[in-house]
Structure 1
Amino acid sequence: MASKNVDDRKSMTELEACVLALIALEGPCTAYSIRKQFEESLTSTWRASTGSIYPLIRRLTERGLLTRHDVESDGRGSKEIEATPAGRKAAQSWLKDVPEWVGEPSADPVRTRLNFIRLLAPGDRVPVVEEMMAATQASLDRVEASRDQLAAEGRDFDALTVAGAQHMLRARLDWLEEVRAYYA
């Protein structure tokens, strides 16, 4: 079934559009390789499960945005997936369509939890903030190691993309310093 039109992007979820764009960028790949990339993501939001990736790929295929064909020399019956021309156009349209909400603050479990910190006894607040700082610092360390690894592999643009997470985590640490000072 062919895609109705490029405006299919409007009816795609962010996860569907991201998977479509990843397949369009990576070229022929398997659903398993896509799932592994999401599994290894530094962003918890993009850690999509097998139960979401495989049906999503099936839906995009049914809409004519992806094609699937057998992997030669694979005895397991794996399928390679590619973006169709309509799929590439839909991925490109998704990238070009920048709604206002994209610039909004994203979900942040630290910010959400700290919104309720006044439920804790005053003496319990700073230790919780410090635990959040330690968790953020550990995440920052992983992100910096990932960026260094990508740069060492010559994947400069991927390293630049990871730098966004690095800056966000540093900003969170600065903010947590302010919160700790407030409650100290």
Structure 2
Amino acid sequence: MKLTPQTERFVLHFGEMGSRWGVNRTVGQIYALIFLSEHPLNADEIAETLGFSRSNVSMGLKELQSWRLVKLVHQVGDRRDYFDSPKDVWEIFRVLVEEKRKREIDPTLTLLRDTLIEAPADQAERHAQQRMKEMLELIELSTAWFDEIQRLPPETLERLMRLGSKVQKVLGLAGKLRGGAGPDR
């Protein structure tokens, strides 16, 4: 597979972004290549196109599978494993957010809940626990909101996201209609 200059720029950029998102550069580039490909790719095609060792590609594919960003597919008459990414970008977005939550948010919630069960020993610890309680409440509120958003059909979610700051105006108007002050008091 030959990369066009445009595709190569995207693949290289995704490698750089991957390292900022918690995966190594190789994994980011492998994902970008699979994402852009018109058809599923096997590990040899990926290694040859990107100039990576076969073992590096295999490890990268395992990581992408653990993130549920690529899936294994087979082709009739071919014993090799092929890899494809979900076609719907909304599905990819949801999977990424779910995986980030499972790997980063959920352990933090567990730690906060476990820590807040313990009785504080002194004033400094009471203060620390109060701050942790505030953080726990914020994260729980955010995750509950995200759970609701997650259940929306992609079309509705897209419309909601396109509303942007108009949502704040609608909420402000709703508050004024109820007789109270809006969020922009």
Provide the TM-score with structure 2 as the length reference: 0.29
Specify the structure having the higher radius of gyration (Cα).
2
Q: Higher relative contact order by CA 8 Å / sep ≥ 6: 1 or 2?
A: 1
Provide the TM-score with structure 1 as the length reference: 0.29
